[in-house]
Amino acid sequence: MGGAVLPVSVVGWCCVVQKEPDRNEIREGFCHSPDTFKKRVSKNTFFVLVRVVDELCLVELTEDILKQLMELVFRLVCNGELSLARVLRKNILDKVEQKKQLRYTNSLKPLAARGVSARPGTLHDFRSHEIADQLTLLDAELFYKIEIPEVLLWAKEQNEEKSPNLTQFTEHFNNMSYWVRSLIIQQEKAQDREKLLLKFIKIMKHLRKLNNFNSYLAILSALDSAPIRRLEWQKQTSEGLEEYCTLIDSSSSFRAYRAALAEVEPPCIPYLGLILQDLTFVHLGNPDLIDGKVNFSKRWQQFNILDSMRRFQQVHYELKRNDDIVCFFNDFSDHLAEEALWELSLKIKPRNITRRRTEREEKT
């Protein structure tokens, strides 16, 4: 559209678009012309444009693009194309309203987290499958908001402002992982730490049944983190945890995880870290143009990576919210930083000191 080009991220989902329509072609194409064929082509181009606008990521709807779209609406009205103008105007207003709602939601986010004192009980007060359900519910609420162009843009630019929903989902993953580490390592007694770690393993079993790979891997990354892994654990516990770690074995390009993901039926929440990694490799390893023409091979690879994610977003979980458990999670906001986790880990098991001496010190 003239000076402000529509985001190319939509091209991967609208393969029928061979080239972006010129602004003058769009404006002049809807005039009353005796050429029936030309009018039909113009209308087809118009509905491709409507589809492109509908697929736009909210952050891609810039003021410049919005201004040009509204100019087109005005031009359609002047040419008597009222029905077409109404369709495009509604499409634009829906996007603008979504963008306003997103800004309003983000403005409330700092007020959402409650203090540590608001947390009731302990993790053992709730059943493992109930916790897994609520983790999945929270994941799903964020996962379904992610727009596909956001993911494609992140692989190219890694700009948090242009991928707000994806950024929020990633922060949720990290906060959950550090929250799990903090709960375990803050237990003073070794038996309490062991009991809590086993509780999280049970939760992971239920997450796997729910096809929630996001929370599954967030917890697993916590249990397999260095400050936790280096502590003393029962042999049976360590061996059981190793079995779960095979799912995220990075050898052979995460073959185990990819095989597991290929077999699941929606609903499912995938691990977005691998999707972003694959998209980044495709973007960096392939040019956008070959001999001045669009590299459709690259676009097809991007489409195949993102198609499974879009398919998973179309089937929702049917889970009921449990406010007691969600309140206990407290938005995973109260967790320790990496340095604090290491300090506690070294306090529990100092470096270069035998386990026997450490136990003697604990008794004193």
Query: DSSP letter string over 128-159?
Result: HHHHHHHHHHHHHHHHTT--HHHHHHHHHH--
Segment 85-95 mean pLDDT:
79
Sign of CA dihedral 207, 117, 222, 202: negative
* Cα 298 off chain centre by: 22
Query: Is residue 79 pLDDT above 70, yes or no?
Result: yes
CB atoms within 10 A of CB 286: 14
Q: What digits encode the pLDDT tens for the residues 208-227?
A: 999 999 999 999 999 999 99
Is the model's pTM score more than 0.75? no
Segment 159-167 mean pLDDT:
90
Contact present, 215 and 207 (Cβ < 8 Å): yes
Residue 112's pLDDT is what?
A: 36
Q: What digits encode the pLDDT tens for the residues 2-13?
A: 433 334 333 333
Q: What digits encode the pLDDT tens for the residues 242-268?
A: 888 888 777 777 888 999 999 999 999
Q: What digits encode the pLDDT tens for the residues 93-128?
A: 777 777 666 655 544 444 333 333 334 468 899 999
Residue 118's pLDDT is what?
A: 39
- Report the mean per-residue pLDDT for the chain: 80
17: confidence class by pLDDT, cuts 50, 70, 90: very low
Distance in angstroms (rounded) separating the CA atoms of residues 98 and 111? 21
Query: For residue 270, which amino acid is it?
Result: P
Segment 294-318 mean pLDDT:
94
CB atoms within 10 A of CB 147: 21
Query: Is residue 135 pLDDT above 90, yes or no?
Result: yes
Q: How many CA atoms are closer than 13 Å to the CA of 46, on its beta-carbon side? A: 25
